[in-house]
Amino acid sequence: MIPFLHIGPLTIPTFGLMVATAMLSAYYLLRADLARRGLSQNDPTLAETFIAFPCLAGIVGAKLYHVLETPADLFADPFGELFSQFGFAWFGGMIAGVVAFILIARSRKIPLLDILDAGSAAAALGYGIGRIGCFLSGDGDYGTPTFLPWGMSFPNGLVPTTQRVHPTPIYELIVSCAIAWILWSLGRRQIAAWRASHPEMGQSKAPPSAEILPRGAVFAAYLVLTGLARFLVEFIRINPRGFLGLSNAQQVSALSVIAGMVLWVRLRASATPLS
């Protein structure tokens, strides 16, 4: 593993490098989604705003959620826990990122469900690429021991192990890319249905609704798919178990799936789009 890159006097953490790569990849995908929905016509910097602030909020939220899961460790070494280069919780990052998204959308007077739909594929892709940083740094996000031929050891990782374990960050990368593709395709169907039902409005406005997939449906699918993916991968992760034998990540993943399903049902049953 390569926790750090050494270039002359510079030492670059590979985790931070991949987080920056994830932000850049998410930016390009979000910019494309905003453009096809007509949301960025009057604001060419909209994608930058919706990537920079939610990503920063997500990093802070992921760290805070992680350290608050083990308050005894936090009180024992608050500085070390808060500023360590590993230890980021996916759900904390998602909560903070979504809250930042909502606040920016309201300040820009953009329909909330429209921007959540537009950002879903980008969020899935960014998460997957960010997991490469966990893999390269060996920060303890790997899985349980395995005899499968692709099992790996992380002897030089930030949290080293000489056992052959599941490379769960790679699993999550693959699944996240697949989810991003599914969400992008759902968005294409959503936009096409709206344009077909509103030919008089051309392609100049974002869809207020869609006959097949209403506003918010892509975001609902994001909550379900990403929650399900994280719930399943936790079975081969090394995280401690709690309520009903589930890890904290599994518990919040289940809530994400339930929330997404409830939102999906409400959107499909509603005669008018939610906003």
Query: At how many degrees (to 10) do helices 46-69 and 14-37 cross?
Result: 140
pLDDT score, position 220: 95
End-to-end CA distance of the chain: 46
With a cut of 70, list the residues of the chain below it in pLDDT. 69-70, 72-91, 198-212, 271-275
Residue 4 is given by DSSP the state E
pLDDT score, position 157: 84
pLDDT score, position 150: 93
Instruction: Find out whether 190 and 140 touch, Cβ atoms under 8 Å.
Output: no
Give the tens place of pLDDT for each residue, 140-198. 888 999 999 999 999 988 888 999 999 999 999 999 999 999 999 999 988 888 777 76
Per-residue CA distances from 114 to 9, 26, 180, 262 (Å): 46, 17, 17, 18
Pick from 1, 44, 52: which is nearest to 22 by CA? Answer: 52
pLDDT score, position 198: 64
As given in the structure block, the two tokens for residue 15 are: 């985790």
3-state SS assignment for residue 217 = helix
Residue-range domain boundaries for the chain: 4-269
**pTM for this one?**
0.83
